């Protein structure tokens, strides 16, 4: 009797290949490498870090920090007597931002070296579900094979074909970082998170800003009071906001840019920043070779394990859509790696993901808004703390803003935290941590009974909690 021949297992160069080195790709690669897998990462650019490090989160927040400190200096009473307001150029603050980008990229590159991850530079595309072709900058090609592949290629600014982005005065949110002139006026088309952040940055530098919003209010996903506070603050600082407008055409001229709106209005400025949406970087992957298809925004569908319709191909980060946050993408990468190792992800993104918007001042929130609770008919109450009443804010001259706690008026369960003001993105995490507590730990009583350091901005939680309790009455 002859033995039945066993089918040989396919041999691949790598256990897994990750396409992209942003937060999502890094999360996948590090988790797999620490589990002992042979991992390769393909990055199309010379430096690792993806759009987050080079064009998005890091440089824009570094710009924002520099401008915010300049505003703080010019408005601080200690320095305001007998001094001339300082000004900086865009090129000057970009030098600081570029230094941060270099440091972050160098740090992230060391992670791959330390964990023995093979790093290749070039543009990857699918040959089949286990094979990638990588085209290097010099045109040379290399074929790679792996048992599993993770797509973490991120996103890029949406650029309509009827706008000439090669014009030296027309920018998107990536190319604006290469601005080498000092505009006196700028039109920002798109009043989402990116547009609102850059409106704050340019206005803080003394540039006249026209902000064109396609909707009837700024950042309508926010709690209405916080959205209104941002609108007022921008207006009070001289930003002209035009709501419910859409562009008809953009004219790039030698001496400026003219924006023609569908309403018949015409606007002119030294330059234009188009910041209306993003597109997933999937069009160069040749997805058709593996039977995958991205949607109209370049995004892929995945299941709870971040697995695409092709069982050995996974996707994380901006290419799968919401929440499109760097912090969430890194966790998605870790969870996807768990699924690649064990067939199932053991963890999920937390339900209450904080929103951080780096306008000047910052905005951050977690949980429900007043509008959502009202629609759901939840009996809630509000506790507020104005920053101008906090000793730490008075000391630091950062008195603009407030903290708002939404809580159930019967159980005192915290339902939402909304913060507007300097360091809001840090302050919100205290509330987020308490909201995650189980077995009755998530109540307003924590903030009432806890002793906070004094003076601190965290003290706002105690002030807001007491304010909220004072609003509750018994029949």
Distance CA 335, CA 146 (A): 19
Q: What is the mean pLDDT of residues 421-425?
A: 94
pLDDT of amino acid 72: 82
pTM for this prediction: 0.92
Provide the token pair at 276: 């209306």
Answer yes or no: are the C-beta atoms of 373 and 416 closer than 8 Å: yes
Least confident of 81-95, 353-367, 370-384, 436-450: 81-95
- Residue 73's pLDDT band, with cuts at 50, 70 and 90, is confident
Q: In the predicted model, what is the mean pLDDT of residues 77-105?
A: 79
> Alpha-carbon distance 107 to 101, whole Å?
10
Q: What are residue 349's phi and psi, to 5 degrees?
A: -60, 145
More confident residue, 362 or 91: 362
**Six token digits for residue 348:** 């999920």
Local confidence band at 455 (pLDDT 50, 70, 90 cut-offs): very high
224-283 pLDDT, tens per residue? 999 999 999 999 999 999 999 999 999 999 999 999 999 999 999 999 999 999 999 999
- Residue 134, pLDDT score: 97
Q: How many CB atoms lie within 10 A of CB 265?
A: 12
| 278 phi, psi to nearest 5 deg | -135, 160
Judged against a pLDDT cut of 80, whether residue 164 lies above it is answered with yes
With 50 as the cut, is the pLDDT of residue 194 above it?
yes
d(CA 398, CA 211): 25
- pLDDT higher than 50, residue 183: yes
Q: What is the mean pLDDT of the chain?
A: 93
Task: Measure the CA–CA gap between 338 and 314, rounded to whole angstroms.
Answer: 11
The contacts of residue 302 (CB under 8 Å, 6+ apart) are 308, 314, 315, 316, 320
Same fold? 170-277, 361-469: no
Using CB atoms within 10 A of its CB, is residue 464 exposed (0-12), middle (13-18) or buried (19+)?
Answer: buried
- At 80 the pLDDT is 61
Decide which of 373 and 92 is more confident.
373
Res 346: pLDDT: 87
Does domain 170-277 sit in CATH 3.50.50.60?
A: yes
Where are the chain's structural domains?
14-155+279-342, 170-277, 361-469
Percentage of residues in the chain with pLDDT exceeding 70? 96
Residue ranges for the known binding site are 43-52, 61, 153-155, 190-197, 277, 318
Binding residues for NAD(+): 190-197, 277
Name the pLDDT band for 440 (thresholds 50, 70, 90): confident
Q: How far apart are the first and last CA of the chain?
A: 90
What's the rounded Cα separation, in Å, for the pair 135 and 11? Answer: 23
Burial of residue 112, with CB atoms counted within 10 A of its CB: 0-12 exposed, 13-18 middle, 19 or more buried: buried
* Cα–Cα distance for residue pair 66/94, rounded to 1 Å: 9
CB 55 within 8 A of CB 27: no
Provide the token pair at 50: 């993806």
Domain 361-469 in CATH 3.60.20.10? The answer is no
Do 211 and 239 contact (CB within 8 A), yes or no? yes
Domain 14-155+279-342 adopts which CATH fold?
FAD/NAD(P)-binding domain (3.50.50)
| pLDDT beyond 90 at 21 | yes
Give mean pLDDT, residues 195-205.
95
Feature table: binding site for FAD: 43-52, 61, 153-155, 318
Residue owning tokens 């090609």 = 141
Lay out the sheet containing 185-189: strands in order across: 170-172, 271-274, 185-189, 208-212, 240-242
């Amino acid at each position: 009797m002859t033995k039945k021949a066993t089918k040989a297992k396919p041999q691949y160069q790598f256990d897994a290949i990750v396409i992209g080195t942003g937060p999502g790709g890094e999360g996948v690669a590090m988790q797999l490498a620490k589990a002992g897998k042979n991992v390769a990462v393909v990055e199309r650019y010379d430096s690792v870090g993806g759009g987050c490090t080079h064009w998005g989160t890091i440089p824009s927040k570094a710009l924002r920090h520099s401008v915010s400190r300049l505003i703080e200096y010019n408005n601080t009473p200690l320095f305001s007597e007998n001094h001339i307001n300082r000004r900086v150029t865009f090129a000057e603050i970009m030098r600081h931002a570029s230094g941060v980008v270099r440091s972050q990229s160098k740090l992230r590159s060391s992670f791959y070296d330390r964990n023995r991850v093979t790093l290749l530079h070039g543009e990857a595309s699918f040959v089949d579900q286990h094979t990638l072709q990588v085209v290097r900058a010099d045109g040379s090609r290399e074929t790679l094979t792996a048992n599993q592949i993770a797509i973490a290629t991120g996103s890029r600014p949406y650029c309509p074909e009827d706008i000439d982005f090669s014009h030296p005065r027309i920018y998107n949110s990536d190319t604006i970082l290469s601005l080498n002139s000092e505009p006196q006026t700028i039109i920002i088309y798109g009043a989402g998170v990116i547009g609102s952040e850059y409106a704050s940055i340019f206005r803080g530098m003394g540039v006249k800003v026209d902000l064109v919003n396609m909707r009837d209010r700024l950042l309508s996903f926010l709690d209405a009071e916080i959205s209104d506070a941002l609108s007022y603050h921008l207006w009070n600082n001289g930003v002209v906001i035009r709501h419910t407008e859409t562009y008809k055409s953009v004219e790039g001229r030698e001496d400026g840019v003219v924006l023609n709106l569908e309403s018949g209005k015409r606007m002119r400025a030294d330059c234009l920043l188009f910041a209306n949406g993003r597109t997933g970087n999937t069009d160069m992957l040749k997805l058709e070779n593996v039977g995958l298809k991205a949607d109209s925004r370049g995004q892929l569908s995945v299941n709870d394990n971040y697995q695409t319709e092709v069982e050995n191909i996974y996707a994380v980060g901006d290419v799968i859509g919401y929440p499109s946050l760097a912090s969430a993408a890194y966790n998605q990468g870790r969870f996807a790696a768990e699924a690649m190792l064990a067939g199932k992800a053991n963890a999920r993104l937390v339900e209450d993901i904080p929103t951080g918007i780096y306008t000047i001042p910052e905005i951050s929130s977690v949980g429900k808004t007043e509008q959502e609770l009202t629609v759901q008919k939840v009996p809630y109450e509000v506790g507020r703390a104005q920053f101008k009443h906090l000793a730490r804010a008075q000391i630091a001259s950062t008195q603009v803003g407030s903290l708002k706690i939404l809580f159930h008026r019967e159980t005192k369960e915290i339902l939402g935290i909304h913060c507007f003001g300097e360091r809001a993105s840090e302050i919100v995490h205290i509330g987020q941590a308490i909201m995650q507590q189980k077995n009755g730990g998530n109540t307003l009583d924590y903030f009432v009974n806890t002793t906070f350091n004094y003076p601190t901005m965290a003290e706002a939680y105690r002030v807001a909690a007491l304010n909220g309790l004072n609003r509750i009455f018994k029949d």
